[in-house]
Structure 1
Amino acid sequence: MPRPRSLTLDRLAAAALTVIDRDGLAALSMRTVAKELGMSPMGLYRYVSDRDELEGLVVDRVLGSVDTTPPPAGTPWQERVETMAGRLRDAVARHPEAVPLTVAHRHHAAGGLRWSETVLGILTEAGIDGGRRVVALRALHGYITGAIQLEHLGPLSGEGTATIAALPEDRFPHLAETARTAGAISPDQEFTEGLRLLLRGLAC
Structure 2
Amino acid sequence: MAGLTLWSTFLNAPLEEPANPGVTPNPSKAPWYFLGLQEMLVYFDPWIAGVVLPTIIIIGLIAIPYIDTNPKGNGYYCWRDRKFAISVFMFGWIIWMILIIEGTFLRGPGWNFFMFGEYWDVHKVVPLVNINLSELLNIDPKTFWLAREIPALILLGLYFGLIPLVVAKVNKKFYDDLGLVRYTVTIMLVLLLMSLPIKMVLRWFLNLKYVLVTPWFNI
TM-score, with structure 2 as normaliser: 0.22
Q: Which has the higher contact order (CA 8 A, sep 6+)?
A: 2
Structure richer in helix, relative to its length: 1
TM-score, with structure 1 as normaliser: 0.23
